[in-house]
Structure 1
Amino acid sequence: MYKIILFGDSITAGYYHQEVTDLLTTRISQAFPLAEVINAGIPGDTTVDALERIDQHVLTYKPDYVTVFFGANDMATHHLKTSEDYRENLQKIIDLIGREKIILVSPPANNPLLHVLDRPEHRLEKYVEVAKEVAEQNDIPFVSLFAEMKKQESLRPLLQEDGLHFSEEGYDLLALLMNRALREKIKEGDED
């Protein structure tokens, strides 16, 4: 039995129609029936919040694998975090958890036509690039969720009406990508 922690914000938490649900946790648990999957997603969290709660919500569980999925709130204009703050905080999270346990997930695409005005596309792309660079510098798996979402014909089926939070189809895609990365990470761990 091994432990997988899903560490992130409202999308990780399964925020769906104004409620926290098990939409993501269930999809990961079904793919890894021998794992204990712990959802440590908190709506509204930034990497600053993540660092404040990392001991209680992640390290105390002594996880084998951790998906780290932040950025959508860090980049929101009302938080006024720079991409360099985001970079530094991601690095601190990696250092605390240990790079051998982490899978880093990029911030998601959002639909600016659906009122996500505080997360402009140019700012989002910068945060995605920063996450990718941090993953490369630390030699950790990177789930390019943003790029995978942008490959879709339309973002609308992946997102709820707010243009930011995921629909069931969005969770299907996220779980598919996370499960693929987790399988690779677990396989690497088994080979060591």
Structure 2
Amino acid sequence: MPKSKITQSLLNTSLYKSRNLLKFCYILLACVVISCGNDKKTEATTDSTENHTTETETSEKTSSKTILFFGDSITAGYGLEDTNDAFPGVIQDKIDSLGLNYQVVNSGVSGETSAGGKSRIDWILNRDIDVFVLELGANDGLRGLPITETKANLQAIIDAVRAKNSDIKIVLAGMQMPPNMGAEYTSEFKAIFSDLAEENNIAFIPFILENVGGVKELNQADGIHPIAEGHKILAENVWDVLLPIIKI
């Protein structure tokens, strides 16, 4: 074969191979692009699924009902190493053990009087509440404040809760004063709570410190605030009244 024809043939063969190589590169590039696109779709689907799961979990958490304990140092767990040992925390443990869909909120403030509770109730009611447990008045009694004033403040708190939402279940915790406050005062003070419960037709815990108040080994050195073991008994006193309400 002439040299010119051989050269032309080699050129044609080289060109053919180059075209095939270029075609192969295009095909490979297309495969890579498609693959990346599928990966992105997979990532998007995964993200969507994860977001949906998170939203569902959040929805489940926010759908739980709220029990708010509104009180003083007894509710707050004054003097305890772990405030979760206060009776509201013990109540939460009982709720969780039964699988009930309620979340406890401890809104106790040490030293709180009925007047102090009245002044902060509107702020507390900015959140959704299903059950409202009112435990106030002890500091009024210990300071010898007028009975009429304490009763009026507690009534104002009850009225504010009902004005916010008439469907909120209210539980009133009764309190008693030691005998050294005087027979007349202690008798009238005790009657505040039973009278309010009857007048407002609300659930009533006759004496939240039943079997704890005055029992030296169940209270701290001050003789007023319960230790953790004492709070367990308080929780039982509350639970007897609270359970029928939250199981409805």
Specify the TM-score bucket, using the shorter chain as the normaliser: 0.7 to 0.9
Q: CA deviation at 1:124?
A: 3.6
What pairs with 1:10-89 in structure 2 (closer than 5 Å)?
10-16=73-79, 21-23=83-85, 24-33=87-96, 34-57=101-124, 59-77=125-143, 80-89=144-153
**Max Rg structure:** 2
Secondary structure of the corresponding residue to residue 149 of structure 1: coil
Structure 1: 5+ residue runs without aligned partners? none
Q: Secondary structure at the match of 1:102?
A: strand
Q: Give the equivalent residue in structure 1 for 2:232.
A: 172
- Give the distance between the partners of 2:209 and 2:77, measured in 1 at CA: 21
Give yes or no for contact 2:118–2:154 (8 Å, CA) kept in 1: no
Within the alignment, does 1:101 sit opposite 2:165 as a pair? no
Q: Which residue matches 2:242?
A: 182
Indicate conservation of the 8 Å contact 1:108/1:149, yes or no: no
Distance 1:168 1:147, change over 3 A: closer
Q: Name the SS of the counterpart of 2:220 in structure 1.
A: coil
CA contact (8 A) 2:220 2:227 kept: yes
Are the aligned partners of 2:216 and 2:223 in contact in 1 as well (CA < 8 Å)? yes
Deviation of the 1:146 alpha carbon: 5.7
Taking every aligned residue pair, what percent have the same amino acid on both sides? 31
Aligned length: 175
Aligned-partner Cα distance in 2 for 1:67–1:20: 21
In the alignment, what sits opposite 2:22? none
Residue 56 of structure 1 and its aligned partner are, at CA, apart by: 1.8
One-letter code aligned to 1:174: L
* Displaced runs of 4 or more, over 6 A: none
Q: Does 1:134 align with 2:200?
A: no
Q: 5+ residue gaps in structure 2? A: 1-63
Higher helix proportion (structure 1 or 2): 2
